[in-house]
């Protein structure tokens, strides 16, 4: 990552709203007394504001700040760009829906490293967070799960980069194969670029990522189920050693526990995934979606049940939901993989009840 030991105060002139400043560098805290003694007021987001004043008063305050900063070995510079917070506020008004904008200052250079784990990006934004200097940024949040990060394009006199933070429920975002590429645009093109290009690409990438999460979970459950079913049918391990009744019961409990743990991914992503499949797009979709949604509701009830459940009770209530997703979920999700639909057949499953220990 790019870091600098030098500390700098950056100034942004804003029409009718005074001067905004922030400090950046390893000794950024040294800038606070210099700013405050020159009339700047610290704000909650880490920036400082010099309230609107006459041109002469503003010049005097700036001159005083420069003199004080020089004694502290801090440089002062005026940005030729418009203040990023103003750009973000304007974007929030232009984007579809309701958006809120805020500014975050990464005064200590290493603070921006925290961005890497949370960004979901395959383009220039991630590279900037990893290797360039990002002294401050603006976030845009629509309150419905989408949060964007906006920065000045590093190394360029103009232009901006905007990308996305990962949606809730996902980990390991760095270098995720489904991540959308950040948008690079001039200020005049940002709103249109986000609305027409970035947000549709983001939604498509999110759908693909949710599909992978759900199908992977169901594939793991299906594989475990086949292994369990084969064990019950033969009552022998793969080494031909007989399986005792107690051991078989233990393996059943282990299978159900793993199945439930894997199914939590379906609970996290199943419902928003169903919203991406309009019921009228294919015959039978409405019934499939209704069954899958009902299965999620039943499984969610197990999570929030007020009465403590035994393992057997939990298994009896959760297995029908898992089974529904193994069958109907496969049918629905294969719509995104039409070439595989004809070759792939769901495995035969038992009646809608939890697997039972084989008894002789």
Task: Say what the pLDDT of residue 48 is.
Answer: 96
Question: Would you state the pLDDT for residue 268?
Answer: 94
3-class DSSP assignment, residue 101: strand
User: How is residue 228 written in tokens?
Assistant: 């369990």
Q: Determine contact, residues 160/190, Cβ cutoff 8 Å.
A: yes
pLDDT at 246: 53
Handedness of CA 231, 213, 330, 294 (dihedral sign): positive
Parts of the chain with a pLDDT under 50: 3, 244-245, 338-360
For residue 143, the model assigns a pLDDT of: 93
Residues 291, 331 contacting (CB under 8 angstroms): no
* Alpha helical stretches, state H, the chain: 31-37, 55-71, 84-94, 113-118, 124-131, 190-193, 199-234, 245-274, 285-303, 311-324, 330-333, 338-341
169-222 pLDDT tens trace:
887 788 889 999 999 999 999 999 999 999 999 999 999 999 999 999 999 999
Cβ atoms < 10 Å from Cβ of 120: 24
pLDDT for the residue numbered 341: 33
pLDDT at 241: 56
């Amino acid at each position: 990552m790019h870091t600098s030991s030098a500390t700098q105060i950056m100034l942004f002139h804003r029409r009718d709203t005074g001067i905004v400043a922030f400090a950046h560098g390893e000794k950024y805290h040294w800038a606070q007394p210099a700013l405050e003694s020159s009339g700047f007021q610290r704000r909650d987001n880490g920036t400082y504001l010099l309230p609107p004043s006459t041109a002469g008063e503003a010049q005097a305050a700036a001159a005083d700040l420069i003199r004080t900063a020089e004694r502290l070995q801090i440089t002062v510079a005026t940005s030729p760009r418009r203040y990023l917070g103003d750009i973000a506020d304007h974007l929030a008004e232009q984007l579809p829906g309701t958006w809120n904008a805020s500014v975050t200052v990464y005064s200590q250079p290493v603070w921006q490293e925290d961005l890497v784990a949370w960004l979901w990006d395959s383009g220039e934004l991630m590279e900037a967070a990893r290797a360039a200097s990002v002294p401050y940024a603006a976030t845009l949040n629509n309150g419905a799960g989408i949060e964007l990060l906006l920065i000045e394009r590093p190394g360029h006199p103009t232009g901006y980069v905007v990308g996305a933070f990962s949606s809730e429920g996902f980990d390991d975002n760095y270098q995720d194969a489904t991540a959308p590429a950040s948008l690079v645009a001039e200020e005049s093109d940002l709103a249109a670029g986000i609305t027409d290009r970035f947000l549709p690409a983001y939604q498509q990438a999110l759908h693909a990522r949710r599909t992978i999460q759900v199908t992977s979970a169901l594939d793991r459950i299906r594989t475990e189920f086949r292994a369990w079913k084969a064990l019950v049918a033969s009552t022998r391990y793969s080494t031909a050693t007989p399986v005792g009744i107690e051991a078989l019961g233990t393996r059943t409990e282990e299978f159900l526990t793993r199945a439930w743990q894997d199914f939590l991914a379906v609970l996290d992503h199943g419902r928003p995934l169903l919203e991406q499949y309009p019921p009228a797009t294919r015959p039978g979709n409405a019934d499939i979606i209704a069954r899958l949604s009902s299965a999620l509701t039943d499984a969610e009830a197990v999570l929030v049940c007020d009465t403590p459940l035994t393992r057997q009770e939990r298994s009896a209530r959760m297995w029908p939901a898992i089974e529904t997703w193994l069958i109907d979920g496969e049918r629905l999700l294969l719509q995104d993989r039409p070439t595989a639909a004809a070759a792939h057949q769901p495995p035969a499953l038992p009646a809608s009840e939890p697997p039972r220990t084989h008894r002789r």
